[in-house]
């Protein structure tokens, strides 16, 4: 009997250790969390979500899959960058600001909106936009606006072919901006570790790990049944 208790204790400890998951990302929207989990599943990374009231959705993965999960999502620009809206920059009851400050906020909102559109494109990991607009009304000739765009995209994405499309989008987002005054720099992201890290788990003997907790439970129940049968079959002394 003592042996069975010790055996069960060891098995239970192994059960909790094998089922250990760590937090990957939190405070996510339901839609974004589902998108991230779907991408992880396509790369054979087990992930689960939990919803905490007032804190959004949290994604958990196995500790051994943490680095791979971060890299898979990073290559797809996830989680999405949080952008500010007009309510953030112009909250109700705010004190009156100068025209220059208001123009700076409006320019910043334009940058945020363009960044958001760029990040919506497949393969874009990072998008940064800088707009230069002159507000000096004392000048006889106001310099034309300019826009500088930096895009880091996932490997395997031909982002260069979309440059004309990006230029047109940026041009139509800013008044009086010409195509010649738009500067675009694109950079392909590097893998942070070898692609071998993403090998199919089903081909490398890893698939069974997700069933290990259930195997452990089945082993405990089987042992308990066997012990019960043995104890009942003993003759009464």
* Cα–Cα distance measured from residue 78 to residue 24, given in angstroms and rounded to the nearest whole number: 12
Higher-pLDDT residue of 54 and 18 is 54
Q: Does some domain include residue 87?
A: no
65-89 mean pLDDT = 80
Domain carrying residue 16: 2-79+212-233
Give the chain's length: 237
203 pLDDT band, cuts 50/70/90, is very low
Which pTM was predicted?
0.61
5 pLDDT band, cuts 50/70/90, is low
The predicted pLDDT at position 20 comes to 72
Q: Is the pLDDT of residue 210 over 80?
A: no
The predicted pLDDT at position 159 comes to 93
Q: Does some domain include residue 197?
A: no
Higher-pLDDT residue of 74 and 163 is 163
Region of poorest pLDDT, from 102-111, 179-188, 199-208: 199-208
Region of poorest pLDDT, from 79-83, 108-112, 156-160: 79-83
Q: Does some domain include residue 25?
A: yes
Q: Does some domain include residue 91?
A: no
Q: Does some domain include residue 64?
A: yes
Residue 32 dihedral angles phi and psi, to the nearest 5°: -65, -40
Q: Is the pLDDT of residue 110 over 50?
A: yes
CATH for 71: 3.30.70.1530
Computed over every residue of the chain, the mean pLDDT equals 79
Residue the block writes with tokens 């995209």: 153
* Helix (H/G/I), strand (E/B), else coil: 17: helix
Which residues partner with 129 through β-bridges? Answer: 149
User: In total, how many domains does the chain have?
Assistant: 2
Q: In terms of domains, do 114 and 180 share one? A: yes
The predicted pLDDT at position 2 comes to 55
Strands 56-62 and 47-52: antiparallel
The predicted pLDDT at position 113 comes to 93
The predicted pLDDT at position 199 comes to 44
* Cα–Cα distance measured from residue 155 to residue 195, given in angstroms and rounded to the nearest whole number: 12
Q: Does some domain include residue 118?
A: yes
Q: For a pLDDT cut of 90, what percent of the chain falls above it?
A: 35
CATH for 123: 3.30.300.30
Token pair in block for residue 145: 């606006």
Q: In terms of domains, do 182 and 110 share one? A: yes
**Which CA distances in Å does 33 have to 28, 60, 117, 121?**
6, 11, 20, 18
* Helix (H/G/I), strand (E/B), else coil: 26: strand
pLDDT tens digits, residue range 130-151? 999 876 656 667 789 999 999 9
Q: In terms of domains, do 104 and 165 share one? A: yes
């Amino acid at each position: 009997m003592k042996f069975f208790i010790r055996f069960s204790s060891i098995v239970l400890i192994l059960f909790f250790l094998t089922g250990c998951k760590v937090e990957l990302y939190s405070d996510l929207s339901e839609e974004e969390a589902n998108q991230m989990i779907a991408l992880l599943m396509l790369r054979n990374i087990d992930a689960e979500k939990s919803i905490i009231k007032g804190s959004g959705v949290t994604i958990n993965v196995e500790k051994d899959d943490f680095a791979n999960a971060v890299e898979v999502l990073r290559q797809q620009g996830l989680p999405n960058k949080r952008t500010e809206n007009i309510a953030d920059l112009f909250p109700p009851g705010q004190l009156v600001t100068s025209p220059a400050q208001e123009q700076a906020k409006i320019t910043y909102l334009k940058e945020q909106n363009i960044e958001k559109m760029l990040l919506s494109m497949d393969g874009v990991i990072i998008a940064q936009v800088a707009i230069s607009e002159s507000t000096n009304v004392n000048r006889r000739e106001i310099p034309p606006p300019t826009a500088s765009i930096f895009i880091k995209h996932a490997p395997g994405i031909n982002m260069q072919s979309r440059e004309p499309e990006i230029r047109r989008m940026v041009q139509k987002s800013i008044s009086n901006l010409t195509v010649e005054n738009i500067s675009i720099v694109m950079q392909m992201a590097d893998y942070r570790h070898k692609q071998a890290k993403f090998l199919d788990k089903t081909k490398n003997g890893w698939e069974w790990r997700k069933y290990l907790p259930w195997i452990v439970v089945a082993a405990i129940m089987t042992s308990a049944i066997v012990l019960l049968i043995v104890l009942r079959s003993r003759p009464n002394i």
